A and B are shown apart, each in its own frame.
Chain A
């Protein structure tokens, strides 16, 4: 089993750490020593190549009952980009994300992720797609009866890593996201921000080339949100494509990254280095 992290993907080299007080040396091993057990290619879903990480071509998603999730969306997200996906509730952000991880299938149009047209991806290959994509959610989605370390370990076990590998990588990645000393805490013993860090660690541990965060700071206070966004940005600097769906106006304005705004299933704005609102000042959220 494989999460396939070679095929031309940039090696991780980090990084300035803003918030958790840990040094570069501590982080280095996780990124510079990718696992190579020789079986990596077998289930690598992504096709190597210079193309975009995510491409939507005229994608419409109509739900049973006629509701439109997305309406003729065409866009590209390049490898290594950091993109905010903004828009009010019901604008199609979640539909967009669920199409990328193939929780949903497009009604018409093509969704291409890592060079793979998801319409032709066999059902049995979907798990391998999800291993190549890290996912972070507003509600963290941690397993409540497992410690932070066990939650992260689970993602590694799923991909068939040995216990030895698990014992090596889990502490590294937890330190990296700033959870030193909290490895054995259960989710309920951690703050919201810490739980979200566990969930980011879990998303990262298989070296995904695409990290998707759906309202990652939705349940967090502003200061904590800032820390989480910094972490996501650091991850992006290692070459991982990051897509963040958010309502968090403050963060989007502060970070000045590419912003894709959705409204009623359509792309209403797509700007490089932008804020939450468009230049006309129209409030979208």
Chain B
């Protein structure tokens, strides 16, 4: 009912203090733009890290002396892990396969011809469904009698750990950065609203004089902050859209084949969802920024 009037008052104030309102809008624009550039990048990095850690696999080496029943019981154990979802895939690599793979990798395969016999053990190559599951797999089979006594179980423990640490770091650094950005935006919008209150202090005095309640005085300022936040967010989204279409999409279509080849299907947030998040963030920035300022500077 009164919303229309508060809205008119807010627009009147924006017009009257055009310079200040533009400053607030640009502040919101910058904050939302950086946020909007950061969220997809951050999610892309995370998703890439996830894709990398997903490639961690565990090699379970089989002793040459292991009997067929022992090997079968080991395979059953690993299959059991696959049924409960810990393991994504189990592949058997025989001694001959192992030697052939080795030969393929060596620059000069002829050195292997010198060997009197095949020294490479057979193995199960186990792909965990999640990088973190590697430990579970190791724990499940580490005392198995079929294990090769020298090689045992080999998995890139350090690589996995390092990637997981990196992923966590990226995550926390991202949260911290976003937090700092939002705080800066809130303070800047708050400051703008403070200037607006200061520019209109006479008006506020008159409002009090004629018996306006606190919230009656506050609403227009609040709406003013939200409008600045919203307009800034919308312009930022438009700019981000331009950059996405003009730069990122072009780059991604070129890079797509390369990405598919390495098997790292890193994805990121969908643009419509990002738009909703950013516009919401803009409105919230405006509301919180002006809200905090009003609490501090508009006491009746």
Contact = CB atoms under 8 A, between A and B. Distances in A.
Interface of A: 3, 101, 123-124, 126-132, 135, 141-143, 145, 154-155, 157-160, 202, 206
B213 A145 contact: no
Interface stretch (B30-38, B61-69, B173-181, B203-211): B203-211
Contacts of A135: 209
A145 B16 contact: yes
Contacts, number: 50
A136 B59 CA distance: 90
Most A CB within 10 A of own CB, among B203, B209, B211, B216: B211
Interface centre among A142, A155, A202 (most CB of B within 10 A): A155
Given A130-B211, A131-B211, A135-B209, A158 B300 contact: no
A31 B286 CA distance: 44
B12 interface: yes
B210 A154 contact: yes
B300 A131 contact: no
By CB atoms of chain A within 10 A, which of B209, B212, B213 has the most? B209
Interface residues of B, number: 18
26 contacts: A126-B300, A127-B208, A127-B212, A127-B216, A127-B300, A130-B208, A130-B209, A130-B211, A131-B210, A131-B211, A135-B209, A141-B205, A141-B209, A142-B206, A143-B202, A143-B203, A145-B16, A154-B210, A155-B210, A158-B207, A158-B211, A158-B213, A158-B216, A160-B2, A202-B210, A206-B210
B5 interface: yes
A161 B159 CA distance: 71
A182 B226 CA distance: 36
Interface of B: 2, 5, 12, 16, 202-203, 205-214, 216, 300
Contact of A141 (B202, B211, B212, B214): B202
A142 B16 CA distance: 16
B30 to A, nearest CB: 30
A159 B211 contact: yes
